[in-house]
Structure formats: C-alpha cells, structure tokens
Amino acid sequence: MSATQIALAGRGHLAFKQPPVLTSWATVAGKKETEGPLGRHFDRIVRDETMGEKSYERAERKLFTGAVDLLLSVAGRHASDVDLLFAGDLLDQIVTANFAARDIGIPLVGVYGACSTSSEALLLSAMAVASGSVRRAIAATASHHLSAERQYRYPIELGVQRLPTAQWTATGAAAFLVEDPAERESPSAPAKGDGATLRIVSATVGRVQDYGLKDPNNMGAAMAPAAADTILRHLQGSGRSVEDFELILTGDLGRVGHPLLEELLAEERVHPRERLQDAGILLYRDDQKVDAGGSGAACSALVLGAMALPRLRRGEMHRMLLVATGSLHSPRTYQQGESIPTIAHAVEVEAVR
Amino acid sequence: MSATQIALAGRGHLAFKQPPVLTSWATVAGKKETEGPLGRHFDRIVRDETMGEKSYERAERKLFTGAVDLLLSVAGRHASDVDLLFAGDLLDQIVTANFAARDIGIPLVGVYGACSTSSEALLLSAMAVASGSVRRAIAATASHHLSAERQYRYPIELGVQRLPTAQWTATGAAAFLVEDPAERESPSAPAKGDGATLRIVSATVGRVQDYGLKDPNNMGAAMAPAAADTILRHLQGSGRSVEDFELILTGDLGRVGHPLLEELLAEERVHPRERLQDAGILLYRDDQKVDAGGSGAACSALVLGAMALPRLRRGEMHRMLLVATGSLHSPRTYQQGESIPTIAHAVEVEAVR
C-alpha cells in the first residue's frame, strides 16, 4: 500500500505518520480519589458515590456519562459531532459503556482490556483518526470501587479483610477527544487552554502474558511482565530509548508490581529510573489505606487526565508513554484454578508548539 | 487530511478507498450445528463438546484456538506473520479470547459486542489494514452452548424449561484473515482455492438501541431495531440501495426478530425481500428444537464462513452485507430490572475477479 499514512514499524506497533491530536479531556473522580495527591486537578468531584442512584452499577454509568458530557462541553462539541466512541469498563459484558453509549448516542465500539482499557481505547481512537476513516473519536472508561469489589471479590458490606498486596479499584471516569489535525484547526474546536499541541505519534498493542500467578489479590505482580513486554516492544518498534521519555506511566502495578517491572526491564539493560511511574501509586497518598495502590479502569485514565496531559500541555515535559495494564481473568476462571493472563497497551504522546 | 485512504462517508460509516482483502477463513462447529443445513460446509466438526477438557469454558477456548490454528494452516501463515488479533466472545471478561490469545501469541485487541462480535472484529481488522498500520489481522470469535447457558440463564443440568421465543447459543468458532491487498499478491499468501477476490469495501459501526424490552428470552425482538438502524445508516453512508446486495445477512434475530426487522425497514420504505436472511434461522433445521433460532457470537460467524463467503468466492453472488447483532445486557442488569440495550455492526464484502 503506497500512500500509507501509518508506517509499518513492527508487529503490534503502530506509527502514525500524520499523528492524530489529543485535543481535550475530562475527569470525574470519587471522594477517596479527591483526597489523594491529585485531588485538586480533577475536573469534577463526586462526593456521594451512589450519585443518587439505586445501584453502584448505575452510579458507575453516571460517572461515565458525566465524563463524556463534560468533555463535549470543554471541547465545544455536541455528541453528533463525534464519529465513534471507543469504550469499555470492568463490569461483566461492559454494561457501563453499553448503557452509557445508549444515552450518549455516539456509535460504539465496545472494548475489553480490564484496567488497560484507557490505552486500548486511546490507541484505537488514534488508529481510526489516523486512517482517515473518522474525523473525531472519543476514548472513555470508568470504574467504581463498590461495583468492582462485589463483582470481583466480595460485597464490601461483608467486611472481608483485605490483603496487603491487594489493590484498590478507583472510582471515577475519564474521556479523551482524539481529532484529525486538520479538524482541530477549525475555529469551533478550541484547544483546552493555551499550550502545546498533544499528538499521539505511535502505539503498541499488547501480547497476553502469563507467568502462572493465580492470586487476584496480587495483580500487580501478574501484570508486570505484560508491562515489560510492551515497553520493550514499543522501544524496539519506535526506535526510541527510555531517555527519550520524560514519563513512562504504567497503570496499575502498584507498590508490589512496580519494583518487579524495574527488575524485568533491568534484565534487558533498560533502566528508566525515576521516569517510570505508576498510576496506582500516584493516585493515592501512602496513608489512604489502599494497600498496594490503586487499580481499576479509571485509575490510569484519571492520572493521565489530571497529571500527565496537563504537564505536556504546559510544556513541563515533551514526550510520554502511557502503558496501562490489565488482568484478563474472570471470577470464574479464578474459581476454576486458572492463572491470570495479563496485557498492557502503550500509547506515545508528544507535545509540540 | 488530504492523502486519506478511507473516505468520510457519514457518521459511524467507514468507506475503505483501498479495500482490505478477506483472504481466508476457518470454521469449527459443534455437533448440533453439524446436524443443521450447513453441516457439511464446516471446516472442522467437534462431536465431543467437552473437547476432553474439564470445563465448558476450557472447551470453548479450544474451539477458538482450533479455528485460528486452522485458519493459519489454510492461509499458509504462522502466528508470527499476523500483526493483530481482534477478538471477543460472550463470557464475562471475554476470557475465551484472552486465554486463547495467550496461547496464540498474536497481539490482542479485545472487543465486546456480544453476538455482534463477528462484525465488530471484522470491521476493526479492516480499519487497521486499510489504514496501513498493519499488514495482516485476524478477526475471531467463539461461543459454546453450555458455557453461555450457565452464565446467562441456568446450568442446563437444572433442566429449566426453555421458552419458545428463546434462542439457542451456537457451539463453534470462526476466524477470518484480513490482509493488505499488496500483501496478498505475495506468493506465500495463496487465496483459499480459486475464485473471486473478496474485498471489505465499507462498514458501519452500530449505535446502541433500546426500545425498553426486558426479556432475555426474547432477544431477537430487542435486537431488530439495532439491525434496522445500522442497515439504514449503511445504505445512507454507502449510497447503495438494498437491491445492490444479493445477501443482507443478519445475526441473530431468529424467527421472532426477523419479521420485526422487515416491518421496521418497511416503515422506511426499504424492502429487502428474500435477500434479507438471518444466521439464527439458517444455522439449524426447523425440527432441531432450537426454539426461535440460533444465537451466540459463533452463529453469524459460522454462517458467514460456511455459506456466505464461499458463495461470494464461487461467483454465485457479488455483494453482501453482514449485520451481526448483539444484546448488550448482563445477567446483573437483567436482575436489576434494566431493559436490554442492543447493537448491530455492518460489514460490506464484495467479490471481484
């Protein structure tokens, strides 16, 4: 294919020759997330985690639609201006995305990547826009601590004791608008404040990894190999070294998985040092009783929207790699004694002025 | 974007200027499916539906990997030749696709669209290839009657009586290879037998529809509006009329949903007549006790691979539209009294010599 817009840069690695632009984003965060270090950077705060709904599942859906509505408002767009919605969540049959998309009305491509959903939806949005098939796509995800706990572990009303290696599913939602760079020039599409233009220049689709770990209360350890594989393949595919990035943001390895990832990368003589940070560690303070750190589809999405993208926008950094990770088991596969397969997808964002 | 390869032909509609080629496919079918009208057209037959595994979930996974392995063999490819795998299934957290992708090793984009997965994965594969970001992608899905029944309804061991409007989840799997037309020319990529070249020329992403129906034993009625919306939008986006298609293959409306779709289209003065056929009706004989017809992620995929694509290949027809439909509820949303949101994605395939 001669007039290709996306270079062939290796298996599973997508390099966008005419990079789509990440123009706007919106975050909605729960109470505990707001009490963390990023608290004042969220666009909207939800103190009542039932959101006036009769179930946690309906509350989660409201977080999702809230983030998309806020994004459209920030971007000065209507839902009818957006061609595709790439979305998913943690609940069985991704009912949060499905029911929310019914109310939002944008054509839906439902995805499932557990806590890697943020980067999976972002890379598909970028692929769609870069290919010229759509002008504008939204990537969105949500998670809710109380709906996830009762689906994956126990209803919190049971008071089952948590293990120190367990991670805390974040309550929140985030949505990201990816646009054709030509579209962005139009007067009706203002950037979110002044600052740099954020381009999605490449991405790497994850391969499923499984080191035989079986403990859903220690997902950080299970996910570290997936993050390592994707980071190494992204470096190979893009021809970059870790020094080219000011931030490599994983999500959500937590305090157990993060040092394991450092070890796995060191075995390949890759030493990202302080530029390697984890959304599961960044989202909460040490004293917030979240055990090994945050998790959930919203975790990396919230840290991306509240911390990483604003720093790129303000020119405080120029290139980052989002590496959201996901545990791909189900409660049933755990009960059946299966190990936990994991995945990580990478999205590279650069700031240009 | 000037050098665009995919025309902007309306919201959610994707027109591929340099259409990807659907070069090979493989189907694996269960015992009951083999006893139906398409029985002798499946590539592989599985008579023991446990497949020697200790759970139905593991058997379903084996159906999936069996279809992908067979496809690679038919296409003369190795897994390492394929850039991306777009896959999903009906089980919670799409564990069939996730665990199978671990064993197959191709980078995975996990999707969820319930019984619409076949067309969702196919359109994403086409979008990826048409964009030039990958040379070769596989779209695959599977379902298993016994794993689906116990997740969505009751374990069949309970002997709960089935309702006449209920549909029968098909046991089987299918995989489709979508390639860059330039790649296909290479001598190592033989077409599946002689015959026409099959091109994916356009697709339409579904919008979630919900007419307030709540009965998971009558999903055909709930899905008919989604099929109607997508067919009408595809006709509008592509500028074609129903007469341009020799086959509009929905899946899986069954005997209840199929006439409802005809009514909904007639209200818009669209009369596809005998060219409108449903995979849920085609897969089984009338006397096979499947109530209102077949369903499941494998249903439309099996009919596509065993009947529709071979007819295109042999020149018996020249243009078809696959419109796989999905019910996007979960057992929990049903228990919580929610209605059933539904979706349909369309993929247009044409045969050229």
Could you tell me if A164 lies within 8 Å of chain B, comparing CB atoms? no
Q: What are phi and psi of B344, to 5 degrees?
A: -145, 135
C-alpha distance across the termini of chain A, in Å = 32
Average pLDDT over residues B271-282: 98
Residues A300-342 have pLDDT tens digits of 999 999 999 999 999 999 999 999 999 999 989 988 999 999 9
Are B38 and B173 in a shared domain? Answer: yes
Compute the distance between CA of residue A121 and CA of residue B274 in angstroms, rounded to an integer: 38
Give residue for tokens 């499923």. Answer: A208
Q: At what angle do helices A56-75 and A145-152 cross, to 10 degrees?
A: 140
Sorting pLDDT into bands at 50, 70 and 90, what band is A155? Answer: confident
CA B177-B180-B183 angle, to 5 degrees, is 95
Of A150, A143, A152, nearest in space to A329 by CA: A152
Q: What is the pLDDT of residues B94-116, one digit of tens each?
A: 999 999 999 999 999 999 999 99
Nearest Cβ partner of A131 from B106, B127, B204? B127
Residues 6+ apart with CB under 8 A from A53: A59, A61, A62
- Top pLDDT among A113 and B2 is at A113
**Is A287 exposed, middle or buried, given 0-12, 13-18 or 19+ CB atoms closer than 10 A?**
exposed
- Could you read off the pLDDT of A30-85 as tens digits, one per residue? 999 999 999 999 999 999 999 999 999 999 999 999 999 999 999 999 999 999 99
Of the candidates A62, A38, A37, the one whose C-alpha atom is nearest the C-alpha of residue A48 is A62
Report the distance separating Cα A262 and Cα A8, nearest Å: 29
Q: Are B324 and B173 in contact, with CB atoms under 8 Å apart?
A: no
Boundaries of domain holding A89: 17-182
- B98 close contact with A: CB closer than 8 A: yes
CB of B53 within 8 Å of a chain A CB? The answer is no
Check pLDDT > 90 for residue B185.
no
Question: What's the mean per-residue pLDDT of chain B?
Answer: 91
- pLDDT surpassing 50 at residue A7: no
CA gap B188, B75 in Å, rounded: 9
Distances (CA, A) of A132 to A190, A192, B4, B8: 21, 23, 5, 7
Give, in degrees to the nearest 5, the angle at Cα A326 between A303 and A205: 95
Reported as a pLDDT band with limits 50, 70 and 90, residue A3 is: very low
**pLDDT tens-digit series, residues B220-251:** 899 999 999 999 999 999 999 999 999 999 99
C-alpha of B13 from chain center: 18
Tokens of A216: 């859903």
Predicted pLDDT of residue B11: 78
Together in a domain, A161 and A254: no
Q: Is residue B328 included in any domain, yes or no? A: yes
Q: Does position B151 have pLDDT exceeding 90, yes or no? A: no
Provide the number of structural domains found in chain A: 2
Of how many residues is chain A composed? Answer: 353
**pLDDT above 80 (res A1):** no
Does A10 reside within a domain?
Answer: no
In chain A, whose CA is at the least distance from the CA of B229? A107
Interface of B with A in 219-278 (CB under 8 A): none
Q: What angle do CA A106, A107, A111 make, to 5 degrees?
A: 110
Same-domain status, A207 and A178: no
Residue pointed to by tokens 């026409």: B196
Same domain, A206 and A304: yes
Contact: A111, B106; criterion CB under 8 Å? no
- Does residue A282 sit in helix, strand or coil? helix
Q: Which residues contact B161 (CB under 8 A, 6 or more apart)?
A: none
- A196 lies in some domain: no
Write out the DSSP string of B173-215: EEEEEEE-HHHHTSTT---SSSSPEEEEEEEEPPPPB--S---
Which of A134, A139, A145, A111 is closest to A30 using CA atoms? A145
Question: Within a 13 Å sphere around the CA of B256, how many CA atoms are in the beta-carbon half?
Answer: 21
* Least confident span in A180-184, B52-56, B91-95: A180-184
- Between A216-220, A221-225, A309-313, B185-189, the lowest mean confidence (pLDDT) is in B185-189
Task: Please report how the helices A219-238 and A254-267 are oriented relative to each other, as an axis angle in degrees rounded to 10.
Answer: 40
Q: Is the pLDDT of residue B312 over 80?
A: yes
Output the CA torsion B241→B245→B250→B255 (10° steps). Answer: 90
Assess whether A214 and A165 both reside in one domain.
Answer: no
Whether residue B168 is found in the same domain as residue B228: no
DSSP string, A299-311: HHHHHIIIIIHHH
Could you report the per-residue pLDDT of A245-256, keeping only the tens digit for each?
999 999 999 999
Compute the average pLDDT of residues B149-168.
82
Nearest chain A Cα distance for residue B182, angstroms: 6
> Is B167 within 8 Å of B219 (Cβ atoms)?
yes
Residues B206-220: what's their mean pLDDT?
91
The secondary structure element, H or E, covering residue A204 is strand A197-204
The SS3 of residue A326 is strand
Nearest to B89 by CA among B175, B209, B207: B175
Q: For residue B6, what pLDDT is reported?
A: 38
Residues B338 and B302 in one domain: yes
Residue A148 domain-assigned (yes or no): yes
| Amino acid occupying residue B195 | G
Instruction: For residue A5, name the pLDDT band (cuts at 50, 70, 90).
Output: very low
- A301: Cα within 13 Å, side-chain hemisphere: 41
pLDDT at A303: 98
Residue B188: inside a domain, yes or no?
Answer: no
What is the least distance, in Å, from the CA of A39 to any CA of chain B?
A: 30
Q: Is residue B193 part of a domain?
A: no
Residue A9 lies in a domain: no
Tell me: do A105 and A239 sit in the same domain. Answer: no
**Are A133 and B135 in contact (CB < 8 Å)?**
no
Is B111 in the A-facing interface, judged by CB distances under 8 Å? yes
Residue A84: its chain B contacts at CB < 8 A? 12, 205
pLDDT tens digits, residue range B3-59? 333 333 347 999 998 899 999 999 999 999 999 999 999 999 999 999 999 999 999
Of B3, B91, B106, the CB nearest to A330: B91
Mean pLDDT, residues B83-87: 97
pLDDT at B327 over 70: yes
Task: Decide which of B148, B182, B216 is a domain's last residue.
Answer: B182
pLDDT for A184 equals 57
Q: What is the 8-class DSSP label of residue B178?
A: E
Is residue B1 very low, low, confident or very high in pLDDT (cuts 50, 70, 90)? very low
3-state SS assignment for residue B285: coil
Task: Give B8 or A210, the one with higher predicted confidence.
Answer: A210
* Inter-chain residue contact A133 with B132, CB threshold 8 Å: no
pLDDT confidence band for A127 (50 / 70 / 90): very high
Tell me the CA distances in angstroms from A95 to A62, A285, B121, B342, one per residue in order.
12, 31, 19, 11
Q: A137 to chain B: nearest residue by CA?
A: B12
Q: What ipTM was reported for this prediction?
A: 0.94
CATH code, domain with B21? 3.40.47.40
- Can you give the pLDDT at residue A216? 83
**Averaged confidence pLDDT in chain A:** 91
Do the domain assignments include residue B269?
A: yes
Residue ending a domain, choose from A135, A150, A182: A182
Residue of chain B with shortest Cα separation from A20: B1
Residue B187: what pLDDT?
43
pLDDT at B323: 98
Q: Which of A7, A98, A111 sits opposite B341 (nearest CB)?
A: A98
Shared-domain flag, residues B69 and B148: yes
Residues shown for chain B: 353
Three-state DSSP class for B44? Answer: strand
| A140 and A250 belong to one structural domain | no
Q: Give yes or no: residues A52 and A79 share one domain.
A: yes
- Same domain? For A254 and A348 the reply is yes
Please enumerate in sequence order all residues whose Cβ is within 8 A of that of B81, keeping only pairs 6 or more positions apart, or say none.
B136
Nearest beta carbon to residue A207 from set B105, B113, B205: B105
Q: Are A49 and A172 in contact (CB under 8 A)?
A: no
pLDDT-based confidence at B343, cuts 50/70/90? Answer: very high
Give B-chain residues touching A329 at CB under 8 angstroms.
Answer: 93, 95, 98
**pLDDT given for residue A18 in this prediction:** 87
Contacts B336 to A, Cβ<8 Å:
55, 57-58
Mean per-residue pLDDT, A280-289: 94
H helical segments located in B76-185: 95-104, 117-130, 145-152, 181-184
